[in-house]
Amino acid sequence: MSQRVTREDLENKLREVQENLRGATEEARRSGTALAIGLFLVLLGLAYFLGRRAGHRRGIVVELKRG
């Protein structure tokens, strides 16, 4: 006793699958964006602190001579 699959059944199932994919895509996009922003901020902070450290190491030395 098999049931016949109608065009409407197929369309409904396809719509359901598409909605699930859209939801998963949006979720992945949001988490990907948050990850990219976080990574950018970490790299920005790292560059700032490494730049400060390099600036302290190579300070200018001024010699004054009398005479």
Domain limits, the chain: 1-67
Length of the chain: 67
Model confidence at 53: pLDDT above 80 = no
pLDDT band for 3, please (50, 70, 90 cuts).
Answer: confident
Residue-level pLDDT at 55:
66
pLDDT band for 40, please (50, 70, 90 cuts).
Answer: very high
Q: What is the pTM of this model?
A: 0.53
**Model pLDDT for residues 18-38, shown as the tens digit of each residue:** 999 998 898 889 899 999 999
HSE-CB of 12 using CA atoms within 13 angstroms: 5
